[in-house]
Structure 1
Amino acid sequence: MRALTVTPLRAGTAEVRELPDPVPDEGELLVEGLALGICGTDREIASGAYGWAPPGRDHLVLGHESLGRVRSAPDGSGFSAGDLVVGVVRRPDPVPCGACARGEFDMCRNGRYTERGIKQLDGYGSRLWTVEPSYAVLLDPRLEHVGVLMEPATVVAKAWEQVDRVGARAWFEPRRVLVTGAGPIGLLAALLGVQRGLEVHVLDLATGGPKPRAVRELGAEYHSAGAGEVTERVEPDIIIEATGASRVVFEVMAGTAPYGIVCLTGVSPVGRRISVDVGAANREIVLENDVVVGSVNANLRHYATAADALAEADPDWLSRLITRRVPLERFTEALTADPDDIKVVLTLD
């Protein structure tokens, strides 16, 4: 079979190579790969920034944003040939820590978890892959062309869950949410905000292209002004930060309504210095009972929530988030970001 592989920590090693067809272990599903979403994590691994090959190997099959169709499934697995599925990314550590032992492997305490396509487990960037039924998620058949958005949707499903849990420490009836960043994470976060009946605002630098249109078609309001100006005007109860841009992060932290919650989902690059009035930020957070919380990855509960959210969404709107579909053989194009990209997808058939 063809697979997209990389030698971790070595730039320029990404290639499509022929590998033996996988043979499912007892109880596993054999899945025909349909599509693979590409994100910043994949590009960083391909650049040699990080990544871990499976033990005893020098190469890793890339890809964690999966979409496939079951080719064979064991009796009693809950799946049948032809089912549309995605594979969960993370697996709990073998010790396990207290969080992993309770199914909260997205909150692993000791870092011994593994991840498909990232850390010590082959990813989903191949024509065929196998997965345990307990780490496969069934999708609505109507999502065949957009189901590859499932993994980023799980990230925002968890982010919203974190917001709910923090808000529940006292009376909490939010009305307005600001999402910073109109990439796939930001737009899917906005989708879940609309589904919750909130007044949704999205901030991004783009003034043209597909992002403003996607926001407007969602029924949300698009902004391209500075973060401070927008937060002052909107006074959001909730901010989902999806840019990872250091200056934006600190500007929005000071821009919520009282009892505001900022959930950080974007990862900031290191080494960029900015001047920040930490005292003012601390004063505002303390005196207004604000909270800033980080959120990453997802567990099985978030996958179920994301599957429901995508099934409820307009498939035509979801399809517009996929701005490029690239054949596997032209993977270098997919690994090169374009300013107008929302989501780039590799087709595996």
Structure 2
Amino acid sequence: MRALTVRPGQRGSLRVEDVPDPRPAEGEILAEGLALGICGTDREIVAAGYGEAPPGDDLLILGHESLGRVRTAPAGSGFQPGDLIAGVVRRPDPVPCPACAHGEFDMCRNDRYTERGIRKLHGYGSELWTVEPEYAIKIDPELADLGVLLEPASVLAKAWDHIERIGSRAWFGPNRVLVTGAGPIGLLGALMSRQRGLEVHVLDVVTSGPKPELVRALGATYHSTSVKEVVAEAEPDIIIEATGVASVVFDAMENNAPAGIVCLTGVSPVNRHLRVDAGTLNRYIVLDNDVIFGTVNANVRHHELAAHALAEADPGWLEGLISRRVPLEKAPEALEPREDDVKVVVGLSEEVLTA
């Protein structure tokens, strides 16, 4: 079969090449790969900034944003041939830590977890792949190839799960949300905020292209000014930060509401320095009972919540998130960002490219 591969730590090693077909272990699902979403983590691995091959191998099959169709499934697994599925990315560490032992492996405490297509496990970027039933998520067939959005949606499902848990520490009745960044994570964050009946504001630097219209189509308000200006106008109770831009991160932390919640989903580049009045920042966080927390990855429960959110969304709006579909043989082109990109998808099957 063909697969999208990289040799972690080696720049310029991205290839589409033939690799042996997977052999499902006892109890595993064998799936036909349909589509693969591309994100910044994939680009970082290709740039040799991250990623680990499975033990004893120098090759990593890339890809963690998956969509496949079941070919074979074990009896009693709850899956049948023809089902659309996505695979959970992370696996608990082998010790396990207390969080992993309770199924919360996205909150691993000892850093010994593994991740499909990222860390010590082959990914889903191949024409065939296998997955354990307990890490497979059934996709509503009406979504078709839009099911490839499940993994990024799971990150926001987790974010909202934790926002609501934090809010329950006291009286919690949010009305307005500010999302900084209108990439896939920010837009899916805006979607889930609107699904909760909240007034949503989205801030991004671009003023043209698909992003402003995608925001407006949700019934949300698009801004291209600054965090401080939007906060003064909208007075959000919750900020979901999805840019990873250090200056925007600190603007969100400095301008949130009293007893507000700031959820950080963007990963910032390292070795970028800002002058910050840390004393004033600490003062307001303490005196206002603010909460600032980070979130990444998701567990099985969050993937299931994300599957529900996608099934409830307007498929026409979800379709607008996919700006390019690239065939597997041209997959390296998908790793090269373009100005108007939102979400780029590699088609592992011809039917995805003709959808």
TM category (shorter chain) comes to over 0.9
Structure 1 segment 180-195 matched on structure 2, within 5 A: 180-195=180-195
| Equivalence for 1:251 | 251
Distance 2:338 2:228 in 1: 27
Percent of aligned pairs sharing the same letter: 67
Partner SS for 2:310:
helix
Deviation at 1:126?
0.1
Unaligned runs of 5+ in 2: 350-355
Aligned partners of 1:37 and 1:63 also within 8 Å: yes
> Which 4+ runs in 1 deviate beyond 3 A?
none
How far does residue 57 in structure 1 lie from its aligned partner after superposition? Answer: 0.5
The equivalent residue for 1:28 is 28
Letter in 2 for 1:152: P
Partner of 1:145, secondary structure, is helix
User: Aligned partners of 2:270, 2:234: CA distance in 1, in Å?
Assistant: 30
Helix, strand or coil at the partner of 1:177: strand
- 3-state DSSP of counterpart to 2:266: coil
TM-score (norm 2): 0.97
Q: Hey, what does 2:353 align to over in structure 1?
A: none
How far, CA to CA, are the matches of 1:322 and 1:116 in structure 2?
22
Q: CA offsets per residue over residues 153-197 of structure 1, 9 Å max, x none?
A: 000000111111111111010000000000000000000000000
**SS of equivalent to 1:129:** strand
Q: Alpha-carbon deviation of 1:229?
A: 1.1
User: Structure 1 residue 278: deviation in Å?
Assistant: 1.3
How far apart, in 1, do the equivalents of 2:55 and 2:242 lie? 33
TM-fit CA distance, 1:339: 2.0
Aligned to 2:7: 7
Matched to 1:325, the amino acid is: R
Q: Match of 1:37, SS?
A: strand
User: Residue type of the partner of 1:210?
Assistant: P
Question: For residue 93 of structure 2, what is the amino acid of its counterpart?
Answer: D
**Under a length normalisation based on structure 1, what TM-score does the superposition of the two structures give?**
0.99
Cα distance in 1 for partners of 2:291, 2:339 equals: 32
Residue number in structure 1 paired with 2:214:
214
Q: CA deviation at 1:145?
A: 2.3
Find the residue that maps to 2:69 and give its secondary structure. Answer: strand
Tell me what 2:334 maps to: 334
Aligned length: 349
CA RMSD between the two structures? 0.7
Residue 168 of structure 2 aligns with an amino acid whose one-letter code is A
> Is contact 2:45-2:51 (8 Å) kept?
yes
CA contact (8 A) 1:179 1:239 kept: yes
Partner of 1:132: 132
1:3-82 to 2 correspondence within 5 Å? 3-82=3-82
Separation in 2, partners of 1:287, 1:342: 38
- Could you say which residue in structure 2 is the equivalent of 1:167? 167
Q: Look up the SS of the partner of 2:57 in the other structure.
A: coil
| Counterpart code for 2:165 | R
SS state of the match for residue 146, structure 1? helix
Q: Give the AA of the match of 1:333.
A: E
**Cα distance in 2 between the residues matched to 1:278 and 1:233:** 25
Please tell me whether residue 111 in structure 1 is matched to residue 137 in structure 2: no
Q: Deviations over 1:118-168 (max 9, x none)?
A: 001000000000000000000100111211000000000001111111111
Letter in 2 for 1:115: E
The one-letter amino acid of 1:324's match is R
